[in-house]
Amino acid sequence: TVPTFATEGSEAMHGQCLGTGSILRLMLGESIQEMTLTLYVRGFTLTPAAPRGRTIARPWSPFSLVEKCMVKSMQDSAQWAVFKLTVFRREGMDLSYYFACTGDEAHKERDGWVGMISEAIGNVTISLFPDVSITVQPLAGKERTCTRIMAGYLLQGGSEDKIALLYCELHAYSGGRARMVLYKDHWCEQEVKSIA
């Protein structure tokens, strides 16, 4: 089977804490909640300051983007710094989390959160790849790899917030078509899919 990784889950985060602090979670058109955001190596948790709310725990997904947002003119807008974390999904709606830092150091605090989250997502993404380099050489004894232009591992977003690790091989144009072959691993013994 092809290696897969879950990018959704409600289990508690464990391991090294990268950072924690109070933050506002903006639910557009609904509410603003004071929360505690805690970043871990494998994901994050959002714990409401109010005792009635539920804690959200989510693993990092390599298909995520964290970005600074502009605040439209409002009273005390210089005291607000907003950022957004988007988790892109193959099926269903993308997930977006909006956060705001407030106070005199709001922009500096936001930049810190954005930097820590970006680094954590990058580290998780890198950890999913085996230590195998991109190659252009065909495999000895594997005739089907002789028209290889390049090959290496890629991540593919899948159903149910799962990510598959596939070894992909791009072939030279031949017989009126170009092809990319997806394999279970870099030994190219089990073809998963061919795209022409």
Query: Which tokens in the block code for residue 150?
Result: 């390049």
Number of separate helices (H) and strands (E) present in the chain? 1, 12
Contact between 115 and 104 (Cβ < 8 Å): no
Query: What does the pLDDT read at residue 11?
Result: 63
Tell me which amino acid residue 12 is. A
Cβ partners under 8 Å of residue 45, min gap 6:
12, 13, 36, 37, 38, 55, 56, 57, 58
Name the one residue in this structure whose structure tokens are 């805690």: 38
Query: What does the pLDDT read at residue 5?
Result: 80
State the virtual CA torsion across 133, 134, 138, 140 in degrees, nearest 10.
10
Span 68-109, pLDDT tens digits: 998 775 665 668 899 999 999 888 889 999 999 999 999 999
Span 149-172, pLDDT tens digits: 999 999 998 777 889 999 999 999
Higher pLDDT, 9 or 181: 181
Of 9, 36, 1, whose CA–CA distance to 160 is shortest?
9
Ramachandran region, residue 137 (left: φ > 0; alpha: ψ -120 to 50; beta: rest): beta
Span 1-33, pLDDT tens digits: 777 787 776 566 778 899 999 999 999 778 899
Q: What is the pTM of this model?
A: 0.88
- List residues bridging with 138 in a β-sheet: none
Rounded-to-integer distance, Cα 180 and Cα 196, Å: 6
% of the chain with per-residue pLDDT over 70:
94
Span 39-64, pLDDT tens digits: 999 999 999 998 778 899 999 999 99
Half-sphere CA count of 102, side-chain side, radius 13 A: 11
